[in-house]
């Protein structure tokens, strides 16, 4: 597993594309597991801070309690069109509680500087320990653009699935390299 910084060092092109997708809407979709085992998906704000992808949340909110109970999660870019031409980026891994007081204080100061608002204790703060990352894009033009950007990049697998006359092609890029791209 890897911090955002470690992931970006191993797969810089994929990490840059993922960061752009996350930042394009300033919110991500967080997938967690509820107490009874059913999945939950929730839009959340995020911050890239000190080499980490951080998720903060209100104290005792359901989504944060989900992560406290079971740290497995998925963090997914928002999708705003049905065509898939903007691509979707997703991470799976574990949410680790950020309990170091110094880190939390620096995080709060960084959020204040960026937004004009500062979280006050108590609040939940997690960093994402990344296990897998993937980017998928549809539509021939978007596939060509992503392929030009990602093919030959270090640390990732890229598979382009061609189009036949009745369908559009798609591209899948995955990390780590031992993980095979799939559709």
- What SS3 class is residue 1? coil
Task: Return the pLDDT at 12.
Answer: 96
**Rg over CA atoms, the chain:** 17
**pLDDT at residue 85 in the model:** 85
pLDDT at residue 180 greater than cutoff 60: no
Q: Which long-range contacts (CB under 8 A, 24 or more apart) does 42-45 make?
A: 43/78
Phi-psi region of 51 (alpha: psi -120 to 50; beta: other; left: phi over 0): left
pLDDT of residue 174: 94
Confidence of residue 183 (pLDDT cuts 50, 70, 90): very low
From 21-30, 93-102, 152-161, the region with the lowest mean pLDDT: 152-161
Domain locations along the chain: 4-133
User: Stretch 118-135: mean pLDDT, rounded?
Assistant: 96
Is the distance from CB of 46 to CB of 107 less than 8 angstroms? Answer: no
pLDDT of residue 143: 86
Spell out the CATH class of 4-133: mainly beta
Residue 179: pLDDT band by 50, 70, 90 thresholds?
A: low
- In this predicted structure, the answer to whether residue 139 has a pLDDT above a threshold of 90 is no
Check if the beta carbon of residue 82 is closer than 8 Å to that of residue 149. Answer: no
Q: What is the mean pLDDT of residues 36-47?
A: 96
Which residue, 156, 173, 135, is CA-closest to 21?
A: 135
pLDDT of 80-125, one tens digit each?
Answer: 888 878 999 999 999 999 999 999 999 999 999 999 999 999 999 9
Average pLDDT, the chain: 91
């Amino acid at each position: 597993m890897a911090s955002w910084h470690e992931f970006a060092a191993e797969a810089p092109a994929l990490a840059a594309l993922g960061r752009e997708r996350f930042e394009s809407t300033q919110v991500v979709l967080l997938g967690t597991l509820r107490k009874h085992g059913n999945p939950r998906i929730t839009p959340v704000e995020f911050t890239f801070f000190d080499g980490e992808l951080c998720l903060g949340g209100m104290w005792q909110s359901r989504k944060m309690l989900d992560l406290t109970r079971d740290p497995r999660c998925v963090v997914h870019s928002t999708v705003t069109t049905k065509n898939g031409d903007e691509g979707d980026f997703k991470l799976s891994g574990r949410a680790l509680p950020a309990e170091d007081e110094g880190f939390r204080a620096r995080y709060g100061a960084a959020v204040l500087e960026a937004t004009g608002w500062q979280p006050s204790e108590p609040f939940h703060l997690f960093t994402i320990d990344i296990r897998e990352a993937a980017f998928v894009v549809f539509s021939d033009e978007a596939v060509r653009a992503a392929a030009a950007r990602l093919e030959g990049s270090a640390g990732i697998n890229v598979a382009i699935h061609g189009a036949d006359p009745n369908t559009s092609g798609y591209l899948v890029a995955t990390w780590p390299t031992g993980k095979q791209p799939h559709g």
